[in-house]
Structure 1
Amino acid sequence: MRFNIFVSFVISSGVALAQSPVWGQCGGMGWTGPTTCVAGSTCTFSNNWYSQCLPGAATTTATTTTTSITTTSSAPGSTSTTGLNLRLLPLGDSITFGLESSDGNGYRNALHKLLEPGNTVNFIGSLKAGTMADNDNEGHSGATIAQIQQFSTNSAALPARPHLILLMAGTNDVFGGSISTGPNRLSTLIDSIFSACPDAALIVATLIPLNGGQPSVDTYNQAVTQLVAQRKAAGQHILLAGMASITAGDLADGVHPNDGGYVKMANAWFPVIQQAAANGWIGQPL
């Protein structure tokens, strides 16, 4: 399935750094920041809107994107598509729930608006949060990776057979001091999701910054990036949504995004959803 796209994104102004750090953004349509990476990482193309500095290379690499795009409006953005019928499950912890956003919607309302034009969009989940009309989600505050698996298995969310699952998990494992084995638990959670929803597409997000736990977050994000790449290479319908555009300044309390940070999250999810659709992974209602 192919998108015909008209997009606009929120772009934060600021002074561009000479080089992006590991896990930082380094390219994409509308990107005005640095396009080279610090030593030990390379600028890696993810999609037309996002390239990221990934560890594992000793030299810096610049990335240039040539895909044309038409900008039509301001935040958070708009699209015109061929007509998707999306049943989408936001799955995770309190960040998915939208904690610390002023309206309780988190990233979900901004993402819903990005997806709405030309499409039928239905968020699903056993919980409701926020002022938006379609406020269903499966974001359990305080939940670890293993607990998210339990919640998703025991709720009606996965049996409802979503076309698309947006997963962010691991922040509470950092707090619990067990993040070193977090990628193993994430792998088990992914197995559980595909067992319940073999026809779904899964997008896994890297963790956003965390005050006091950034070294663990960086290590975990590297492992998640490798895990997703391995599973995609094995044929699973899985993609990575890099959240490196969210900085410590986008946090409301050192853990959860503020309103601007949540909009950045929506803008990070959105092009990866487009990629899943372009891959033909989002089908008709089951």
Structure 2
Amino acid sequence: MVAITTFLSLLAAASTAAAQSQNATLRYMPFGDSITEIICWRSKLWNKLQTTEWSSVDFVGSGKTENNCRDTKYDRDNEGHSGFLAINIANQKQLVGWLQRNPADVITMHLGTNDIVQQNKNVNDIIAAFTTLVQQMRDHNPRMKIVVAQIIPLGLGNFNTKVQQLNAAIPTWAAQQNKTESPIWVVDQYTGFSGSGDNRDGVHPNDAGDTKMMNKWYPAIIKAFEAAKADKTAEL
């Protein structure tokens, strides 16, 4: 009888742990500038996730504005900030406060456009800001799963040469910053994206551009979710 009782207790504990693992909500922060804030790839991503095991993932962030996506259902929370520079966000430690208010397990980052367009910042300075931002993410959560974009092209001005220079620097930088417990995935949002045809105003994606961005993000985000879920399961 004692053996049966012990077995049943162990079985109940295992069932409880499995249920907790299934119910542990992952928190995902879309982070960046206006190409994260005033677009619709987030809506498309949320809807695609609804048909998967990741339908309960909680999008987090201080931004909650609907951006004419004609979608009343999606989780609008994000940390996209129109006009913001990566260098300023890093130096002013703005991400530190955003993560304190909205903790995250997974984060995507599409930044650098405004650094180039507004102030023609040096690529090395932008990359240094990325390093600072990654450290701030890990100070908040040592096991943060990070997805970084090689940013989309522009359809105005002569900025794409520097965009390409930044994008070329990102993979080597990411490999240097990568950690087993806090991996970085690089997503090429530049290749196959037309700065004129896939942007509605030369900067921000139109519907076709939003779809392309979502499809590029998706595989890496799923890998990040899987890694974050494994962490939560291991904690039980």
| Number of the residue aligned with 1:245 | 192
| Structure 2: distance between partners of 1:269 and 1:83 | 24
> 2:125 matched to 1:125?
no
| Number of the residue aligned with 1:186 | 130
Q: For the structure 1 residues 113 and 231, does the alpha-carbon distance in structure 2 shift closer, same or farther, using more than 3 Å as the test?
A: same
Stretch deviating more after TM superposition (165-174 or 240-249): 240-249
| Number of the residue aligned with 1:146 | 87
Match of 1:164 among 92, 102, 106: 106
Match of 1:116 among 50, 65, 72: 50
Q: Which has the higher strand share?
A: 1
| Number of the residue aligned with 2:224 | 276
Cα displacement (A) at 1:235: 5.8
> 2:26 matched to 1:86?
yes
| Number of the residue aligned with 1:217 | 163
Cα displacement (A) at 1:84: 7.5
Q: For the structure 1 residues 265 and 226, does the alpha-carbon distance in structure 2 shift closer, same or farther, using more than 3 Å as the test?
A: same
Normalising to structure 2: TM-score of the pair? Answer: 0.75
| Number of the residue aligned with 2:77 | 136
Q: Name structure 2 gaps, 5 residues minimum.
A: 1-21
Specify the structure having the higher radius of gyration (Cα).
Answer: 2
Q: For the structure 1 residues 114 and 179, does the alpha-carbon distance in structure 2 shift closer, same or farther, using more than 3 Å as the test?
A: farther
SS of the residue 1:136 aligns to:
coil
Cα displacement (A) at 1:245: 2.8
| Structure 1: distance between partners of 2:232 and 2:175 | 26
Q: For the structure 1 residues 148 and 246, does the alpha-carbon distance in structure 2 shift closer, same or farther, using more than 3 Å as the test?
A: farther
Structure 1 vs Structure 2: percent identity of aligned residues? 31
Q: For the structure 1 residues 121 and 132, does the alpha-carbon distance in structure 2 shift closer, same or farther, using more than 3 Å as the test?
A: farther
Q: Name structure 1 gaps, 5 residues minimum.
A: 1-81
Cα displacement (A) at 1:158: 4.4
Normalising to structure 1: TM-score of the pair? Answer: 0.63
* Number of residue pairs matched by the alignment: 197
| Structure 2: distance between partners of 1:95 and 1:267 | 15
Q: For the structure 1 residues 83 and 223, does the alpha-carbon distance in structure 2 shift closer, same or farther, using more than 3 Å as the test?
A: farther
Alignment of 1:1-40 (within 5 A): none
> 2:136 matched to 1:208?
no
Indicate if the aligned counterparts of 1:129 and 1:137 stay in contact, CA closer than 8 A: no
> 2:120 matched to 1:177?
yes
| Structure 1: distance between partners of 2:213 and 2:35 | 10
Cα displacement (A) at 1:173: 0.5
Indicate if the aligned counterparts of 2:95 and 2:133 stay in contact, CA closer than 8 A: no
Indicate if the aligned counterparts of 1:109 and 1:132 stay in contact, CA closer than 8 A: no
Indicate if the aligned counterparts of 1:90 and 1:124 stay in contact, CA closer than 8 A: yes
| Structure 2: distance between partners of 1:83 and 1:270 | 22
| Structure 2: distance between partners of 1:169 and 1:241 | 12
> 2:205 matched to 1:264?
no
Q: For the structure 1 residues 235 and 136, does the alpha-carbon distance in structure 2 shift closer, same or farther, using more than 3 Å as the test?
A: closer
Q: For the structure 1 residues 260 and 158, does the alpha-carbon distance in structure 2 shift closer, same or farther, using more than 3 Å as the test?
A: farther
| Structure 2: distance between partners of 1:110 and 1:86 | 18
Cα displacement (A) at 1:136: 0.9
| Number of the residue aligned with 1:37 | none
Q: Deviations over 1:81-132 (max 9, x none)?
A: x88733110111001002xx4xxxx210111112222221211101112154
| Structure 2: distance between partners of 1:235 and 1:219 | 29
| Number of the residue aligned with 1:107 | 41
Q: CA RMSD in A?
A: 2.3
Indicate if the aligned counterparts of 2:142 and 2:182 stay in contact, CA closer than 8 A: no
| Structure 2: distance between partners of 1:84 and 1:200 | 16
Q: Which has the higher helix share?
A: 2
